[in-house]
Amino acid sequence: MFLLGTLVNGLLIIIGTLLGKLLHRIPESMKGTVMHAIGLAVMVLGLQMGLKSENFLVVILSLVFGAVIGEYFALEDKLNKLGDWLERKIGSKKGQGSISQGFVTATLIFVIGAMAIIGALDSGIRGDHSVLYTKSIIDGFTSLILTTTLGIGVLFSAFPVMLYEGLIALFATQIDRFVPQLLMDSFIKEMTATGGIMIFAIGLNLTGITKIRVANLLPGIVVTGIIVSVVYFYGIYF
């Protein structure tokens, strides 16, 4: 079953969120310190990923053009509006955090990164779910902590995560028929680096150092695929 890893990932996010809601009475000072700790860890993870690029100009161009596209379509605003709609439908108690903030922050953390793509590809191509199982455990603990600070909105991030990983896994069942392995390897490396910069930005946001509209950078992942494909098929090098 090529969607097994995806379903486990979504399930553990939901379980982690429900457990986090039960533990919402954790002192505010502890929540703040834990959130800063997560932010710092996320920043380090982002740096590690960002350094995996073999052609950093591809990463820069991907982020620049991705930012232009994201700002033009106001992707972060649309995500926030979706979160606000959920908040109006469900409501949140005072002190339980914003559904919009929890949904957007958690979705960005769980979706961006190499593990989601590589894990989904492994599930679809080889039926190997080990990467997604590992990601699921990490996401479960992260959702628990995020929920104690950001509220129940974290739970709704499970659905875009399952949709995202599920579509990649479905695509991966046929990918080896039309995508050369060398091209796929190159894309994964540059996508990892591009996603790593976004992960680093999320860490900055979580620590409160700055407020970067990371969702507006997401088209950079698609731009990475386009640039890498052009380089591969037309032999254009930077």
Rounded Cα distance, 238 and 234, in Å: 12
Give pairs for 77-85: CB < 8 Å, separation 24+: 79/103, 79/104, 79/107, 79/215, 80/104, 83/153, 83/156
Place of tokens 């996508």: 191
Question: How sure is the predictor about 95, in pLDDT bands with cuts at 50, 70 and 90?
Answer: very low
pLDDT of 113 reads: 67
Residue 93 has pLDDT above 60, yes or no: no
203 vs 35: which has the higher pLDDT: 203
Cβ(115)–Cβ(134) below 8 Å: yes
Q: What is the pLDDT of residue 94?
A: 47
At 104-131, the pLDDT tens digits run 888 888 987 668 888 898 899 888 898 8
Contacts of 40 (CB under 8 A, 6+ apart): 203, 207
Query: Per-residue pLDDT averaged across 20-48, rounded?
Result: 82
| Spatial separation of the C-alpha atoms in residues 8 and 128, rounded to whole Å | 13
Q: What is the pTM of this model?
A: 0.78
Q: Residue 66 half-sphere exposure, CB side, CA atoms within 13 Å?
A: 27
Q: How far apart are CA 202 and CA 212, in angstroms?
A: 8
